[in-house]
Structure 1
Amino acid sequence: MVYVLLILGFVLLIKGADLFVDGSSSIARAFHVSPLLIGLTIVAFGTSSPEATVSIIAAIEENPGVALGNVIGSNILNTSLVVGVAAILHPLKVESTTIRKEIPFTLLASLALLILVSDQALQLAGENLLTRGDGFIILLFFMIFLYYIFEIAKNSREKTKEEETEDVKPSSWKKNTLLTVGGLLGILFGGELVVSNATEIAYSFGMSETLAGLTIIAIGTSLPELITSITAALKKESEIALGNIVGSNIFNILFVLGTTAAIHPLTVSNMIITDITIMIILTFVLLIFSRTNFKIGKIEGSLLVITYIVYMIYIIIRN
């Protein structure tokens, strides 16, 4: 029964995120918001909402390993497996702004997180903690990112408005609002099912909370990113594919972990610090790959997929 409830939770998370993205994206288009901006905000937030729900619920239920492992595991999966699979299906064209601003911002956010959780290494405390104060600092970084996003919106809105002249009927507003609200409810309920049942399964197999967060839960909550990016790659919408992944990683670190820590402080294990370091290295590798002819090709994609497989083997042996 536990496995059935876990699968049900993942179905609700994925379907809820899908409905949320569809509804909110349609509303955004009605306001003449550009596709690139939609990818970085609405789609990124929608596909990150399962991680947010799971991590916040886990923190409230005092499962810091699940809360942190879910976010770090999801970002590692996004940067390696999701980008890799999408690039293998169709080479991903990388916008110059993504190379100059968005990926470096992800790198900066990751480095800031590493510093904030390294209390023992910096001799600030006897244990590594992500405190409420740390959470508010991370949320300040998130505010800076939102300011950047709004600047993009201001610069691109008029251009998009000229290109898109579609009128939205009142019935469409009602439908899109219902889709958005319904999707959000599915995400919330699914998140509760995933946390409680995945934790129970992890304990029954002798897995730690951290390993469960890095593997079972991270893979489950990253399915929206995987599905969205693969679909975008197949449709040759590489801007949305890569923008969704980079945007989701930023949201995961800044919004999800910032909000989670602000609600409930998190104890950070040394294992998680190693995983954060791996996440930073992978983000740097993604930046290097992006600078090669402004695209991520099939060879780079294959290397990223292999890297994720090696990482999974490593964390299972480590446990």
Structure 2
Amino acid sequence: MAYILLIIGFGLLIKGADLFVDGSSNIAKLLRVPTMLIGLTIVALGTSSPEATVSIIAALEGSADVSLGNVVGSNIFNITLVVGLAAFIYPLKVENETIRKEIPFTLLASVALLILMSDMALQGANMNLLTRSDGLIFLLFLSIFMYYVIEIGLKNRKDTAGDPIPEDLKWGKNILITILGLAAIIFGGDLVVDNGTEIAYSLGMSETLVGLTIIAIGTSLPELVTSVTAALKQESEIALGNIVGSNIFNILFVLGASATISPLQANDKIFIDVILMIVLTVILLAFSRTSFRVGKREGLVLVGAYLIYLVYIIIRN
């Protein structure tokens, strides 16, 4: 029964995120917000909402390994498999701002996570803990990022000021779709955490492994669907903007909110995964600087990197 409920939970997460992204993207169009801003904020926040729901619920239930593993696993999945598949389908054009500011900001957030969770090494503490203070620091970082994004939106808004709004876009309908999507995400996230943890214990898996694999992949499916769809439509700004934005939201908002609600203890294994996440972000930045795009060859390298990582963490457990 737990497997069936887990699948139902994932289904609700995916459909809920789909409705949330559609509704909120249409609201952004009604507000005349540029495409780049939609990818970095509305779509990124929408596709990160499953991670947020799962991690916050896990934090409330005292499953810190699931909460941390979900975020780190999702970010690694996004950088490697999602970007890799999207780039293989259609080479991703990388905006200059993405290389100069957004990917480095993702790297900064990842390094900040490593520093804040290294209490034993840096402070001689008895355990590694993301405290409420650390959570609030992440949320402050998020406010800086949001200020930057809003500033870009205001500068670019004049470019779309003359664009006509499609007649079929209605405020009421899209607000309803957004609320229904959010409700499905919350209920689905609850099912995923409860049944994913139950399955983990029955199979003798650690909570960290479940968070890094089953739950991380499940909650990252909206990013995968969104970015692959955007690549098929040759809208590379949304495809890459979604991933970069999602990874920033995952660390700063998801872990920030989770740690603020309930301090998260970090086990020794997760440090290797966080370091790997940082290395992969540097690789993505390096790939992005080659002709300002991520091509098919780089995409295959990223997909291969995820498959190697998956085998490693399964053997490690």
Does the C-alpha gap of structure 1 residues 124 and 143 become closer, same or farther in structure 2, counting only changes over 3 Å?
A: farther
- Structure 1 portions without partners, runs of 5+: none
2:195 pairs with 1:204:
no
Q: Give secondary structure in 2 for the equivalent of 1:122.
A: helix
* Distance of 1:292 and 1:104 partners within structure 2: 16
- Residue deviations 1:17-36, cap 9 Å, x none? 00011111111111100011
Q: Give secondary structure in 2 for the equivalent of 1:125.
A: coil
* Distance of 2:309 and 2:166 partners within structure 1: 48
- Residue deviations 1:54-73, cap 9 Å, x none? 00000000000100000000
Conserved 8 A contact 2:79-2:284: yes
Identity of aligned residues (%): 67
Conserved 8 A contact 1:120-1:128: yes
Q: Give secondary structure in 1 for the equivalent of 2:46.
A: helix
Number of the residue aligned with 1:8:
8
Number of the residue aligned with 1:283:
281
Number of the residue aligned with 2:105:
105
Number of the residue aligned with 2:74:
74
- Residue deviations 1:228-250, cap 9 Å, x none? 00000011111110000000000
Number of the residue aligned with 1:92:
92
Conserved 8 A contact 1:117-1:268: yes
Conserved 8 A contact 1:94-1:242: yes
Conserved 8 A contact 2:29-2:165: no
Kindly report which structure 2 residues correspond to 1:161-310, keeping only aligned pairs within 5 A, or say none: 161-162=161-162, 164-166=163-165, 172-310=170-308
User: 1:42 deviation in Å?
Assistant: 0.4
* Distance of 2:3 and 2:309 partners within structure 1: 25
* Distance of 1:243 and 1:124 partners within structure 2: 39
The ranges of structure 1 where at least 4 consecutive aligned residues each deviate by more than 3 angstroms after the TM superposition are none
Conserved 8 A contact 1:68-1:213: yes
* Distance of 1:90 and 1:35 partners within structure 2: 18
Report the residue type matching 2:9 in the other structure: G
User: 1:204 deviation in Å?
Assistant: 0.6
* Distance of 1:289 and 1:159 partners within structure 2: 29
User: 1:167 deviation in Å?
Assistant: 5.8
Does the C-alpha gap of structure 1 residues 91 and 167 become closer, same or farther in structure 2, counting only changes over 3 Å?
A: closer
Q: Give secondary structure in 2 for the equivalent of 1:106.
A: helix
User: 1:168 deviation in Å?
Assistant: 5.4
Q: Give secondary structure in 1 for the equivalent of 2:80.
A: helix
* Distance of 1:316 and 1:159 partners within structure 2: 49
* Distance of 2:309 and 2:90 partners within structure 1: 24
- Residue deviations 1:192-211, cap 9 Å, x none? 00000000001111000000
Number of the residue aligned with 1:127:
127
* Distance of 2:165 and 2:82 partners within structure 1: 33
* Distance of 1:256 and 1:25 partners within structure 2: 21
- Residue deviations 1:137-194, cap 9 Å, x none? 11110000000011011101111112x222657x811110110000000000000000
Number of the residue aligned with 2:136:
136
Conserved 8 A contact 1:30-1:168: no
Report the residue type matching 2:253 in the other structure: F
* Distance of 2:166 and 2:223 partners within structure 1: 29
* Distance of 1:300 and 1:119 partners within structure 2: 36
- Residue deviations 1:29-86, cap 9 Å, x none? 1110001100100000000000000000000000001000000000000000000011
User: 1:124 deviation in Å?
Assistant: 3.9
Number of the residue aligned with 1:152:
152
RMSD value, Cα: 0.9
* Distance of 1:167 and 1:312 partners within structure 2: 44
User: 1:121 deviation in Å?
Assistant: 1.1
* Distance of 1:273 and 1:138 partners within structure 2: 18
* Distance of 1:82 and 1:156 partners within structure 2: 27
Conserved 8 A contact 2:55-2:66: yes
* Distance of 1:218 and 1:315 partners within structure 2: 13
